[in-house]
Each structure stands twice: as structure tokens, then as C-alpha cells.
Amino acid sequence: MGEVDPAFIQAIEHRPKLKFIEAEAIPVINLSVSSLSDTKEVVSQIGNACKKWGFFQVINHGVPLDLREKIEKVMKQFYDQSLEEKNKVKKDEDKAMGYHDGELTKNVRDWKEVFDFLLHNPTVMPASHELYDQELLTWTNQWPQKVCEEYAKEVEKLAYKLLELISLSLGLSANRLNDYFKDQNSFVRLNHYPTCPFPDLALGVGRHKDGGALTVLSQDDIGGLEVKRKSDGEWIQVKPTPNAYIINLGDVLQVWSNDMYESVEHRVAVNSKKGRFSIPFFFLPSHYVTVKPLDELVNEQNTPKYKEYNWGKYLANRKSSNYKKLGVENIQIDHFRV
């Protein structure tokens, strides 16, 4: 991971607190259903988890275990390579997909290395965050092996299933949100969090909210993901559940639901004894989608809480900010709050 930036040591506000509450766990929901009543129960459980946590775990999700094991093996082989080899597929201002080792943060260096690859290769995106710039560019993958593409397609099926269940939990039709993902720019991230000599000072990923619709996360048995509990702001450790996926709502779903559901802050702790691997799938709308509160969920008593925004421009802003190309604040959905 190289030398440590002094700013990293000085970033006191990013230090993880050592107080954890373990009396209450993120809900684990069984997606295996055999009747209409089973489906209604699952929808109810998901709705309650979305309101209370913004997070939940799922089992019996349909993603083949052997495929998950294969991509974990490929990921570990990739990270076992020298930095020189990994940098051959490094991401930069011109290559949105690829490898980086945590150098891109502004104040605190994330104690991790990642590799990103697209679900649909290639994917079209706006070239700029500027509102009237209509130029498009094409994102392409650099490295992923066939097993990575196969894995992404299986997790995409799960993401659609979850999207439909969440839609039902909002009182909408099951397929109400599906059309927003026709030309999606979803991607998979292979995370590696190496052992850290000063875990009390570092974070694998600092506190943040995900900007997309859903994140479908596979984590190993080491653990490290922490969720900020809505009721009191305490950080809750998400204990690994064998073969489960961890699901969290992103900002797009918060806007669509007009704050019925919330995208919740989370972070990743590191430790000094064991490295950790995880694989998030970021389920993102098509670049031309206009994000705004859904018409069915607003009325005179519950007026829209957000102005509409273009998803592709929003993502282009966040991606560009990562590389310090913009002299503006990294945009958040709060910028669009009415």
C-alpha cells in the first residue's frame, strides 16, 4: 500500500469509534417463497428493514455458490500480483474502469485497493457534468475474465428481484422501476482491504452513502462493514452471515421514495491481523434517467422533497470529483432537496 500520507494520520474525524452495539442485528430475510402469503411476508420484512435500517441481508437469493467462489478465487489471484502488474490496468481520468489503490481520496487515504468492471461492456455515459453538454463517452472494461461477467449477470438477476420486492413494499407494481435500468451503467467492484498496522486510526472506506439505487454486497467471513443506526447514530457491525448478500439502499431510491426510505451512512473498518475481501455490485440507472420523487408517492399532503436531476450528469460529477478535475464540491442529493 506504500507510504502513509501524514494527512491520513491527522484525520481525527475519520477515526472509527470503538463503541459498538451488538444487541440488535441487521435483518436477515429469506427470499425463498412458495406461496402468495410468503411473498407478502417477504415484502413486509423488506419494507420494515428499508424504513428502520436502509440495510438488510438476504439468503436463498439464487446466486450460485460455486460462481461466487470462482470470482473470489480470481479476485485473490489478481491482488496477489505485483503492483507493477496491477497498474497495467490502472484507472485514471480517461479510464473509468480498472484498478486503483486508494490514492484518489482528498483528505484520508482509504486503506484498500479496488478493481472496477462494468456489467454491460461497453457502457455509454455523459462526458461531462455540465447540464447543457450533450457529448457522450464510452466506458469500457480493461481486464475482467469470463467468470467476472458471469457473476455480474447472476447478481443483476438478484438486483432486479430485490428492486421488484422494494417496489411492492412501496405500494407500487412489481415492475414499476424496471424501465429505469434498460441501459444501466451498473458495475462490480472487487475490494481488497490489506492488514493495517494502525487499525484504530484508519478506515477501509470512510463514512459515506451510496449514490445509486441499490448495492448488493458479498463479504467474506472477516467482517468490517459498519452501518450508522438511524435511531441513535451508533455504528453497528454487520456480522457476516454465511452465503448471504448485504443489501443497502442508495440515494436514488431515497429520492424515488420521497424519503419514505433512506440511504444510510456506512463505513468499513480494518484490522491488523487479517486482510478482507468484498464484492459490491452497484445497481445504477441508465444515464438518461431523470431522478425525481415518483408521481404515485407525492400528493398535496406529501409534496416532492427533491428537485429532479439527470442521473448520468450526477454520476459524471462524482466520478470527476474523485480525480480532482472539478473545482466544485462533490455533489450529493441534498443539493436537490426542496
Helix (H, G, I), strand (E, B) or coil at 148: helix
Encode pLDDT of 285-298 as tens digits. Answer: 999 999 999 999 99
pLDDT given for residue 205 in this prediction? 86
State the Cα–Cα distance between residues 50 and 55, nearest whole angstrom: 6
Q: What is the pLDDT of residue 92?
A: 85
Span 261-318, pLDDT tens digits? 999 999 998 888 888 999 999 999 999 999 999 999 999 999 999 999 999 999 988 7
Q: Is 39 helix (H, G, I), strand (E, B) or coil?
A: helix
Residue 229 pLDDT > 90: yes
For all residues of the chain together, what is the average pLDDT? Answer: 87
pLDDT(323) > 80 = no
Residue-by-residue DSSP string for 5-22? PHHHHH-GGGSPPS----
Contact criterion met (CB below 8 Å) for 243 and 283:
no
- Of 3-12, 116-125, 244-253, 269-278, which has the strongest mean pLDDT? 244-253
Name the more confident of 187 and 195. 187
Give the model's pLDDT for residue 107. Answer: 42
User: What percent of the chain has pLDDT above 70?
Assistant: 87
Whether 338 and 304 have beta carbons less than 8 Å apart is answered as yes
Phi, psi values for residue 251, rounded to 5° = -60, -35
Please check the confidence at residue 4 and state whether its pLDDT lies above 90: no
Predicted pLDDT at 55: 97
Give ∠ CA 163-149-287 in degrees, rounded to 5: 50
Nearest of 291, 209, 284 to residue 258 by alpha carbon: 291
Where do the domains of the chain lie?
20-336
More confident residue, 65 or 329: 65
| Model confidence, pTM | 0.89
Q: Confidence class of residue 331 from pLDDT cuts 50, 70 and 90?
A: confident
Tell whether the model's pLDDT for residue 179 goes beyond 90.
Answer: yes
Residue 92 to residue 299: CA distance in whole angstroms: 44
Which of the four pLDDT bands, split at 50, 70 and 90, describes residue 29? very high
Give the cell for residue 211.
Answer: 449514490
Task: Give CATH superfamily name and number for 20-336.
Answer: B-lactam Antibiotic, Isopenicillin N Synthase; Chain (2.60.120.330)
Query: Tell me, what's the pLDDT at 206?
Result: 85
For the segment 98-145, what is each residue's pLDDT rounded down to a tens digit?
Answer: 999 864 444 445 789 999 999 999 999 887 777 677 888 899 999 888
- When pLDDT is cut at 50, 70 and 90, the band that residue 20 belongs to is very low
Q: Does pLDDT of 184 surpass 60?
A: yes
Q: Which of 209, 9, 228, 227 is nearest to 107 (CA)?
A: 9
